[in-house]
Amino acid sequence: MKPAPEIDVAASAEELAARAAAWIAAKIAAAPKRIALNLSGGSTPKEVFRLLAAEPLRSAIDWSKVEIFWGDERFVPLDHAMSNFRMTSETLLSHVPVPPGQIHPVPVDAASPEKAAALYDGTLREFYGAPTLDLARPLFDVTLLGLGADGHTASLFPGTPALEIRDALVSAVVGATPEPRITMTYPALASSAEIAFLVSGEAKREILRRVLANDAALPASRIETAGALRIFADRAAFGG
């Protein structure tokens, strides 16, 4: 991981969620106009999103500034139980007034995962306003990432071709089960002013230890950004 991450250790999963939610709210408040949030799926972010959608944070945040993207998605309908968009809608977006035109779901109604990835790649470049990313001007202001027990992040799984992609910003994940997936690639994720991992629970302790030791076999270890890298962990995951 580059740069070395700042590690924020919370006493519990609840405190982790509270700290991450407060951090995100502060980033939105500090943004002069628009802020591009690139969200992760999975279960860990759910409580963070619920806190952002509840008082006091809900009223404290100017949601009109917020643009929402997803770092990965399952190639299922947006109302499918496994959809990251559905999870985010249930916990956050159906409770806060983000302008609908500022919510950018992966186009899972495309003819194939490959087509959905190509379309989302275009969405990102159109939003960015240029065909190629400039290190000095990140695409996202904040990217949230989770950490899988096998060291994956987004849908960048060990040993998969998406890990090696440097020209495309989004890729279909060949062979993902049970549902096909679409993931942002390293260049897209790296184009973030801030990246924050959310890692909770005893089950993540060993994989987090390996990522912090920069075990190059783990996709999460290879996350880089020209900006800031932070890990929100609870004591169960961080140990000590």
Ligand X SMILES: O=C(O)[C@H](O)[C@@H](O)[C@H](O)[C@H](O)COP(=O)(O)O
Q: Judged by CB under 6 A, does residue 88 bind ligand X?
A: no
Residue placing its CB nearer to ligand X in the complex, 105 or 146 = 146
Q: Which stretch binds ligand X (CB under 6 A): 11-19, 141-149, 166-174, 207-215?
A: 141-149
The C-alpha atoms of residue 95 and residue 162 are separated, in whole angstroms, by 34
Residue placing its CB nearer to ligand X in the complex, 31 or 42 = 42
Residue placing its CB nearer to ligand X in the complex, 98 or 220 = 220
Q: Which stretch binds ligand X (CB under 6 A): 57-65, 104-112, 151-159, 184-192?
A: 151-159
Residue placing its CB nearer to ligand X in the complex, 114 or 179 = 179
The C-alpha atoms of residue 173 and residue 216 are separated, in whole angstroms, by 20
Cβ 6 to ligand X shortest distance, Å: 19
Q: Judged by CB under 6 A, does residue 146 bind ligand X?
A: yes
> In 114-179, which ranges are E strands?
140-146, 170-173
By beta carbon distance, the residue nearest ligand X is 146
DSSP state of 231: E
User: 154, 173, 188, 218: which one contacts ligand X (CB under 6 A)?
Assistant: 154
Q: Judged by CB under 6 A, does residue 84 bind ligand X?
A: yes
Residue 105 CB burial class (10 angstroms; 0-12, 13-18, ≥19):
buried
Q: Judged by CB under 6 A, does residue 153 bind ligand X?
A: yes
Q: Judged by CB under 6 A, does residue 91 bind ligand X?
A: no
Site for ligand X in 11-70 (CB under 6 A): 40-44
- What strands lie across the sheet with 140-146, from one edge to the other? 6-10, 228-234, 192-199, 140-146, 35-39, 66-70
Which of 26, 29, 20 minimizes the C-alpha distance to 48?
A: 20
Residue placing its CB nearer to ligand X in the complex, 142 or 154 = 154
Q: Judged by CB under 6 A, does residue 160 bind ligand X?
A: no
Number of residues located near ligand X, criterion CB under 6 A: 13
Please tell me the number of Cα atoms within 13 Å of 210 on its side-chain side.
Answer: 17
In order, the DSSP letters of 83-95 are -HHHHHIIIIITT
**DSSP alpha helix (H) spans, the chain:** 13-30, 45-52, 57-60, 84-88, 113-128, 186-190, 205-212, 235-238
In the complex, which residues of this chain contact ligand X (CB under 6 A)?
A: 40-44, 72, 84, 146-148, 152-154
